[in-house]
DNA sequence: CACCTAATTTACAACGATTGTTACTTACTA
DNA sequence: TAGTAAGTAACAATCGTTGTAAATTAGGTG
């Protein structure tokens, strides 16, 4: 699942490739890139690309997945930069980094309250709606004195394709 | 939090120390140790000790914590054995290994349905009751076709002592 | 537009948590 | 009591992530 090959790129040649890949470079307001800049961080091509990849990703990419997509466009991108940018975005509350126990966190760009379906075979995450009434029910017994900041609902099991794969496997 | 020092014990001298530490060695039925044996696995002194440590632990120990407790009594214990035993127990559904995103999983010996409070500073886990009615509400939209095996409710935030520590820190 | 400076990126090493490997040891059985 | 399959210990390796330090660059300034 994780590529561990050599990461030896000649440094310093990222700008050109990026411009070729990105038509316009103005950070639309409300975008992750715009958020980065507004918060005083420099909007480097690397960060801009990572923000775009997150916004265009359908699901919940891992750092490694983003890194692979990024290097396709900007071969000089380093994995460390991906991590740093993700942590920066998370610190700004622009994304969340969720750890669903599948090894490595995943980027969560949907900040609306919702739950997660996690496939224990392929690690895929899907968002599911959670009845707001439930959220309220999830209260802490008063004697515990715990400051709740975040509520998580996670359902684990098998996604459709993994369930069918497993069915086949058992049959054969 | 994790001890990384040398782990160079002379091997093969575990039996004696164990007998000194454990008064009786009959695995009470229903205990983790009994479960292990019933399932055809050998009940070694190492496994027996780990089972006891789990049963006597108040909370949700990490593998590392169990290892430290174990070596206090049986210095030859290896961390690998702790991991192996935990995985064996989990495979038997005698315990659950929960990953709450604090780095490393924790042992969960309470198999009744319940939720978790996780302190983001110290990593402490506390069990909380979850209204069974809520569990039922946590349904998957029918179009998704997902086989749910497990439901998790996790509330994250600060435990009392970390909240007060943080309050002091901000004030000073 | 050239320059300055602090922020950022990069390569690489290191870390924590966990697992693979292999030779030695031991629990159970005949 | 011996035989054998299973388990253990030591150690290296893996995965995901972060620390370090040197080189590069974004964005403001004259």
Tell me the per-residue pLDDT of A122-157, one tens digit each, with 9 for 90 and over. 888 999 988 877 766 677 888 889 999 988 999 999
Which class does domain B112-140+150-171 fall in? alpha beta
Render A11-50 in DSSP notation, one character per residue. Answer: TT-HHHHHHHH-S-----TTSHHHHHHHTT----HHHHHH
Residue to substitute from A151, A152, A159, A166, interface B, most B β-carbons within 10 A: A152
Phi and psi at B74, nearest 5°, equal -135, 85
Tell me whether residues B158 and A146 touch, CB distance under 8 A. yes
Query: Which fold would CATH assign to domain A113-171?
Result: Dna Ligase; domain 1 (3.30.1490)
Do A89 and A46 form a contact (C-beta atoms < 8 A)? no
Domain boundaries of chain A, sorted by first residue: 14-98, 113-171
Minimum-distance residue to C25 (CA–C1')? B12
For the residues A75-84, what does the mean pLDDT come to?
Answer: 98
Render A109-163 in DSSP notation, one character per residue. Answer: ---SS-EEEEETTT--EEEE---HHHHHH-PPPGGG--EEEEEEEEEEEE-HHHH
What's domain A14-98's architecture?
Orthogonal Bundle (1.10)
- B101 has a chain A CB within 8 A of its CB: yes
Better-predicted residue by pLDDT, A66 or A169 = A66
Q: Which of A21-30, A101-110, B76-85, B115-124 has the lowest mean pLDDT?
A: A21-30
Q: How far apart are CA B141 and CA B143, in angstroms?
A: 6
**Pairing mode, strands A125-128 and B106-108:** unpaired
| Closest by CA position to B9, among listed B58, B60, B57, B79 | B79
Name the B residues in 153-172 with CB < 8 Å from any A CB: 153-160, 163
- How would you class A16 by CB atoms within 10 Å of its CB: exposed for 0-12, middle for 13-18, buried for 19 or more? exposed
Q: Which residues of A touch B105 (CB under 8 A)?
A: 101
Average model confidence (pLDDT) across chain B:
80
- A136 has a chain B CB within 8 A of its CB: no
CATH number for the domain running over B28-98: 1.10.10.10
pLDDT at B166: 72
- How distant is the alpha carbon of residue B162 from its chain centre? 22
Tell me the per-residue pLDDT of A23-64, one tens digit each, with 9 for 90 and over. 344 555 668 999 998 899 999 999 999 999 999 998 899 999
């Amino acid at each position: 699942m994780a590529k561990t090959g050599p990461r030896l790129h000649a440094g310093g040649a990222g700008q050109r490739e990026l411009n070729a890949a990105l038509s316009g470079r103005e950070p639309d307001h409300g975008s992750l890139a715009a958020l980065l800049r507004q918060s005083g961080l420099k909007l480097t091509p690397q960060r801009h690309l990572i923000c775009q990849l997150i916004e265009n990703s359908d699901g919940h990419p891992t750092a490694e997945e983003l890194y692979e997509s990024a290097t396709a466009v900007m071969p000089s991108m380093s994995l460390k930069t991906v991590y740093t940018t993700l942590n920066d975005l998370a610190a700004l509350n622009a994304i969340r980094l969720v750890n669903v126990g599948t090894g490595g966190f995943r980027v969560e760009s949907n900040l609306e309250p919702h739950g997660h379906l996690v496939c224990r075979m392929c690690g895929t995450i899907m968002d599911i709606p959670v009845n707001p009434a439930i959220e309220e029910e999830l209260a802490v017994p008063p004697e515990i004195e715990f400051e709740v900041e975040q509520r998580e609902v996670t359902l684990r099991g098998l996604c459709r394709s993994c369930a069918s794969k497993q069915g086949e496997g058992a049959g054969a």
